[in-house]
Amino acid sequence: MKTVALDASVVLGYLLESNKYAVNKLPTLLRQADKKQIKIISLPLLSIEVANGLRFSLKSPQKAQVILGKFAQLPIKIVDLPKNSMENSLQLAYENETTIYDTVYHLLAIAHNATLLTCDKQYWHSAKHLNHIELIG
Amino acid sequence: MNTQRLTISLPNHLYDQLMSNFGRGQISQFISEATEKLIISKKIEAKINPVEEFLNLKKELDLPKLTAKQVKQAINKGRT
């Protein structure tokens, strides 16, 4: 079964329509995962970044809470990075001049032989040579 | 009841079954009932499906539209 990894830029790109491709892509992915046609994975960091994104995008805490509650029920399997991955994350982040926050999602995709889907053009441009990454946009 | 006329295309095997089971005079009623049932079941499915509930939030909550830069800034705000 095909496995994809998601970062927060895709989730918020859909919700806040900052990326028209994410608006089309995320519903398809979630429906496929719901039917067990694909597997979506991410890190515990995902919900933290989505929550922070909502915190500083929406004026209404009630709306942000509703969204986060529904988000938690999506067919996205939250997994931890394999042991010793932080050392690899540091190395890759230094080599590619990226942040640890962005790099760990990519490392997760690499570890699971998956593809990281991201709307973060800057990160994609810096790390696309590692493969296992696809820019939505 | 007000009605609208429409022309639809069906696969041959469905058309044959419609004609043999209901006849020309009852096709409209059958299509109306079947369509209504399907629409209701789709609405129910959408209401109880977490994926559809999440996807519908964008419209239901009338969320603002941001640029990619604004979204990235929101995700990263407070880190630096």
- The ranges assigned to domains in chain B are 12-79
Phi then psi for residue A74, to 5 deg, are: -75, 155
- pLDDT in the model for residue A84: 84
- pLDDT in the model for residue A132: 97
Say if the Cβ atoms of A30 and B51 lie within 8 Å. Answer: yes
What domains does chain A contain, in order, with CATH numbers? 2-135 (3.40.50.1010)
- pLDDT in the model for residue B80: 66
Nearest by CB to B68, which of A18, A30, A67? A18
Query: Strand order of the sheet with strand A38-42?
Result: A76-78, A38-42, A2-6, A115-118, A133-135
Q: Which residue would you say has higher pLDDT here, B41 or A115?
A: A115
Using CA atoms, how far apart are residues A5 and A9, in angstroms rounded to an integer? 12
ipTM: 0.91
Between A50-54, B21-25, B27-31, the lowest mean confidence (pLDDT) is in B21-25
Residue B66 has pLDDT above 90, yes or no: yes
Per-residue pLDDT of chain A (137 residues), as tens digits, is 999 999 999 999 999 988 888 999 999 999 999 999 999 999 999 999 999 999 999 999 999 999 999 999 999 999 999 888 899 999 999 999 999 999 999 999 999 999 999 999 999 999 999 999 999 98
Tell me the three-class secondary structure of chain A, residue by residue. Answer: CEEEEECHHHHHHHHCCCCHHHHHHHHHHHHHHHCCCEEEEECCHHHHHHHHHHHCCCCCHHHHHHHHHHHCCCCEEECCCCCCHHHHHHHHHHHHCCCHHHHHHHHHHHHCCCEEEECCHHHHHHHHHHCCEEECC
Using CA atoms, how far apart are residues B20 and A50, in angstroms rounded to an integer? 55
Mutate to test the interface with B, among A52, A101, A124, A135 (most CBs of B within 10 A): A52
B45: distance to nearest CA of chain A, Å?
A: 13
Using CA atoms, how far apart are residues A121 and A71, in angstroms rounded to an integer? 24
Both tokens of B58, joined, read 């964008």
- pLDDT in the model for residue A137: 83
